[in-house]
């Protein structure tokens, strides 16, 4: 089985990684780059705990082969804070109580961040629809939705 020498920009840093064909992007991030923010919750694209940005758009990292991302840019939850400052959506999750166990949080934040990038003033229904692929078993979603609303308002100022 051939390995692929790929170049991928992760959280702004250019990485050269040798990956086997059957390695997923999620495995590459967690095992090769020790970026364990994205989580493995199902391995089947259903729970969203592994959501990362691939060239700016959220994807399930368990459903992407590492070999596919040669030349691409990936952003994980570790890349959301800039210069030690939490992003608007991270800050809002802290303030509004959008976090309980924290396992869905990295994927939830990426989906929320991506939503606000494409739709800075989403309605509550739009927020909920955008998070359909991110399962949470702790919060009941209420405070997550509120946090995204708060981040959206903050982003306008």
Partner 1 sequence: MSEQTTNPVGKSVPRVDAYDKVTGAAAFTDDLQFGPGLLFGRAVRSPYPHALIKRLDVGPALELRGVKAVVTGADTPGFIGLYLKDRHIFCTDRVRYVGDPVAGVVAASEEIAEEAARRVVVEYEELPAVLDPLQAIQPDAPLLHPDLGSYDVVPFIFPQPGTNISNVFRVRKGDVEGAWAQCDAVVADTYRVPHIQHVPIEPHVAIARWDLSGEVTLWSSTQSPFAQRDLIAHTLGISQGDMRVIGNYIGGGFGSKAGVSMEALAVAMARQVPGRPVKVRMTREEEFYCCFVRQGLVARVKIGGTKEGRILALQVEYYWDAGAYTEYGVNITRAAGYSSTGPYNIPNVKTDSYCLYTNHPVGGPMRGFGMPEIHWSIEQSVDQLAEALAIDPVAFRQRNCVQGGDVIVTGMTMHPHGLSECIERVAQRIDWGKKEVPSAPHKRRGKGVAACWKAPAMPPNPGSEAWVRFNEDATVSVGVGGQELGQGAFTVAAQVAAEALGIPYEWVRIANPVDTKYSPYEWQTVASRITWSMGNAVKAAAEDARRQILEIVARYWDQDPGDLDIRGGEVVSSKSEQSLSLRNLVVYGLPLPDDQGWIGGPIIGRGKFMPTYVTGLDPETGQGARAVVHYTTGAQAAEVEVDLETGRVELLCIAAAYDVGKAINPEQVHAQLEGGVVQGASSALLEALTFQDGRPVNASFVDYRIMTAVDAPQRILTDFVEVPQDDGPWGARGVGEHPMIATAPAIANAIYDALGIRFNDLPLTAEKIYLALQGA
Partner 2 sequence: MLARPGLVSFDYVRARTPGEVVQLLAEHGADARLMMGGTDLLVRIRDGAVRPRLVVDLKHLPGMRDILYQQQAGLTVGAAVTMNQLARHPAVVAHYPLLAQAANSVASYPLRNRATIGGNLCNASPCADTAPPSYVLAGRIVVHGSAGEQEVAIADFFRGPGQTVLQPGQFVTAIRFPPSPAAASGRYLKLGRNKAGDLAIVSVAVLGFPDASAPSGYRFRIALGAVAPVVLRVPAAEEWLAHHPPGAETFARAADLAAAAASPIDDVRASADYRRAMVRTLTRRGLNAVADTIAAPTGSA
> Please, what is the minimum distance in Å from the beta carbon of residue 110 to partner 2?
8
- Number of Cβ within 10 Å of residue 98's Cβ equals 27
List the beta strands (DSSP E) in the chain: 3-10, 13-20, 51-54, 57-60, 73-75
| Count of Cβ atoms closer than 10 Å to residue 146 Cβ | 18
Residues in the chain: 157
Q: Which stretch binds partner 1 (CB under 8 A): 2-10, 66-74, 103-111, 149-157?
A: 103-111
Is the Cβ of residue 13 or residue 132 nearer to partner 1 in the bound state?
132
Give Cα 7 to chain centroid, integer Å. Answer: 20
Binding track over 2-41 against partner 2, x by CB under 8 A:
x-x---------------xxxxx--x--------------
Write out the residues near partner 2 by the rule CB under 8 A.
1-2, 4, 20-24, 27, 43-45, 48, 51, 54, 57-60, 62-65, 67-68, 111, 114-115, 129-130, 132-134
């Amino acid at each position: 089985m051939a390995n692929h020498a790929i170049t991928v920009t992760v959280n702004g840093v250019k990485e050269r990684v040798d990956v086997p064909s059957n390695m997923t992007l999620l495995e590459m991030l967690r095992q090769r780059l020790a970026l364990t923010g994205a989580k493995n919750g199902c391995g089947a694209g259903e729970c969203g705990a592994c959501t990362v940005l691939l060239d700016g758009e959220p994807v399930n990292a368990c459903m992407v082969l590492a070999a596919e991302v040669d030349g691409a840019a990936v952003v994980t939850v570790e890349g959301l804070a800039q210069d030690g400052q939490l992003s608007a959506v991270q800050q809002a999750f802290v303030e509004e109580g959008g976090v309980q166990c924290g396992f869905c949080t990295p994927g939830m934040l990426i989906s929320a961040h991506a939503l606000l990038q494409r739709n800075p003033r989403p309605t509550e229904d739009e927020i909920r629809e955008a998070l359909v692929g991110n399962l949470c078993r702790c919060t009941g979603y209420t405070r997550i939705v509120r946090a995204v609303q708060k981040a959206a308002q903050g982003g306008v100022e």
